[in-house]
Amino acid sequence: MTYDYVIVGAGSAGCVLANRLSEDPNQRVLLLEAGGRDWHPFIHMPAGIAQLVGKKGVNWDYYTEPEPQLGGRRLWWPRGKVLGGSSSINAMCYIRGDARDYDEWAQRIGDPRWAWNAVLPHFLRSEGNTRGASALHGADGLLGVSDLRHHNPLSQVAIDAARAAGIPTTDDFNGPAQEGFGYYQVTQRNGARCSTAAGYLRAARGRPNLTVRTRAVTQRVLISGSQATGVDYRHHGRLKRAEARQVILCGGAINSPQLLMLSGIGPADHLRSHGLRVALDLPGVGANLQDHLDICTLQRCTQPITYDKTNDVAIALEFLLRRQGIGTSNVAEVGGFVRTRHAEDGRCDMQFHFVPAQLDDHGRQRLPGFGYTLHACALRPKSRGHIALRSADPGEKPAIHANYLSDAEGYDLKMLIEGVRLSRGIFAQDAFGPYRGEEILPGVGVREDRDIEAFVRRKAETIYHPVGTCRMGSDAGAVVDAELRVRGIAGLRVVDASVMPCLPGGNTNAPTVMIAEKAADFIRAA
């Protein structure tokens, strides 16, 4: 079968592109997703995120290689393997980052089309914010954005405590200034999760020119000379081929570089070591891996008001019948952005997520009693990792070398130590007094920097923001150009978080949606 566009990956970017490119009835679009349909009720009930942690059917269930600076630990990297991708399993926080992040992108790649003023219209086009339209917000977009319908009492306590600790209160992290503590707006519509599958793909599913195939695992991109001509994919155990005028990879920071390398595009010596024919020596494929490393401070709560023990049946019924209650919570209801004493410019360099529950090891380890957690992550880490193949077998997971805390100057470690100290400072405020029990993590005996350092190396985890492994640019290390075309291969683009030259200051889902909206314009104008 021949198509105009084959899109590989129905995640945060792929669903956007499937919608936008199929708006033209004369263009035939095939969307391939390795996972299944987003039928599971825990996907659509926001608080179901706590139950999705162990659902391997919607998760690639990746692990890093042993991390040298983290005691040789292999960190769990959950990534969405379902329609909507990671937008179907994330915490739904709608954050764009600082405007200066995008000006930095434009400067790094030498193209003003990625500066803030040039990307803002694409944020506005995607955003359907219940607060209405303004200079910085869109109201009519397909990605539903709203205020949370339910708040745990401790969420307001966290805001009050942060204010007492000297951090201002804000009601809009995507407003004129990012700094402050407040409630997150979330990608929800009418109290339910609005993934890109729910927002973009559902609106396009009736179009006869759009074909969506789930459980379809792409094996390789077909390359003829220097032209992409289609893909081979495995669907329900059978090997199939789809030819296309253009192939667009939307697999994310892990799967997109893996697929490029399996197709013979990547570092030549690495490809040859796995017996792969080299179609194009492109050393930057898989390099430049960046992620937000996160450290949690946990405190015991003296009152049974947290989300540690809840009546799941009652929560589900209230959500299903009324779209109200705890079921509408994203669990991480409150957060904040802070400019620490280590900030290297005028931007905030630390982000917090407050969770009114004990969250250890991504919530996979249940702790007794009641408690609350404050996540802290440094927004602009200097460490860089890479993605590599284990073999030429498309069914074998790639090797993830995150390389956390590896920067020579020790900046990343210094920032996480600071994150622990700031988190403790917030928890020490009088607002938490009626609820404050013993400190669980790091623990009362962990006070000196060397002890906090050991705690960070023992307990730090990803907060799920890998980017950069197919970065855009014009230098020899870039994988795609400013219009997201793979350099040296016609008819092939990468559109997902892997193209980001560096991390934005915040959660990465909204920027990925923006990238897809912008890519759609590039593609349609070509």
List active site positions.
465
d(CA 318, CA 330): 15
499 close to 470: Cβ distance less than 8 angstroms: yes
82 close to 174: Cβ distance less than 8 angstroms: no
| Tokens, residue 226 | 């220097």
d(CA 499, CA 209): 28
User: What dihedral do alpha carbons 122, 125, 127, 130 form, nearest 10°?
Assistant: 150
- Residue/partner pairs of 151-154 with CB below 8 Å, 24 or more apart: 151/183, 151/329, 151/333, 152/305, 152/306, 152/307, 152/329, 152/333, 152/356, 153/305, 153/356, 154/301, 154/305, 154/306, 154/354, 154/356, 154/372, 154/435
202 close to 187: Cβ distance less than 8 angstroms: no
d(CA 345, CA 514): 25
484 close to 114: Cβ distance less than 8 angstroms: no
CA 70 to chain centre: 22
Q: Residues 392, 393, 397, CA angle at the centre, nearest 5°?
A: 105
CB atoms within 10 A of CB 41: 11
CA 392 to chain centre: 27
